[in-house]
Homo-oligomer: A and B are copies of this chain.
């Protein structure tokens, strides 16, 4: 079990978040990658997403989010950056050959900048427009951007198991983006994308990461205090 209070790697996560966010906070991506390479890490649990962050924490994470990764004198923020760093340490996450490495990093960025923003725009409109009479019209207008990108992603995946010829951190991020889409139908519209998400979330490392995130929330449930 990679969570180890004496590990050299420190990863920040929230102490607790409301149930709707359980399993969806972005330290999942780093826990998952570390589980894939059986590398221990210690958790540093910080105040929840709506709590004020200390000046020190903002120096490490300018947007007050999690995770921050610290080890060997390096402090990293943003899951994409942390994953690239971990990938460079272990070939199981990121191929060593320049072409395979380049494509995997391209897929990380594609997940974060070509797919996730179309999904988060839809989520943002739904959130910002909750209980407004225009919310359905606005979501209907914004949704086609997400649908179009997912269709192109489905075409790129085709009948392959992974986006390239093996599992990489490009798949890890893409699957995490897809599984947290704001409307299940978006991914379910493409049989190969659904199967791809299922394939990724069936990996033992994903399941161990999920258990670790949920365990931290269970230990810090404010209702149990």
Chain A interface (Cβ < 8 Å from any Cβ of B): 58, 62-65, 72-81, 84-85, 98-99, 102-103, 105-106, 108-110, 112-114, 116-118, 120-121, 124-125, 128-129, 132-134, 137-138, 141-142, 144-145, 149, 152-153, 155-156
New contact pairs (19) apart from A80-B80, A81-B105, A134-B138, CB-CB < 8 Å: A62-B156, A63-B149, A65-B114, A73-B98, A74-B98, A74-B99, A76-B105, A77-B110, A78-B106, A78-B113, A85-B102, A113-B113, A113-B116, A113-B117, A124-B145, A125-B125, A128-B142, A128-B144, A134-B137
**A150: shortest Cβ distance to chain B, in Å?**
11
Residue of B nearest to A99 (CB): B74
Majority secondary structure, A binding face: helix
Contact of A75 among B72, B102, B144 (CB under 8 A): B102
When chains A and B are docked, how far (Å) is the Cα of A102 from the Cα of B134? Answer: 43
Identical subunits present: 2
**A6: shortest Cβ distance to chain B, in Å?**
23
Which chain B positions have C-beta within 8 A of A156? Answer: 58, 62
When chains A and B are docked, how far (Å) is the Cα of A88 from the Cα of B142? Answer: 37
When chains A and B are docked, how far (Å) is the Cα of A8 from the Cα of B114? Answer: 28
B99–A75 touching, CB < 8 Å: yes
Contact of A109 among B106, B112, B149 (CB under 8 A): B112
Most chain B CB inside 10 Å of its own CB: which residue of A84, A105, A113, A114: A113
**A72: shortest Cβ distance to chain B, in Å?**
7
Which chain B positions have C-beta within 8 A of A108? Answer: 81
A64–B102 touching, CB < 8 Å: no
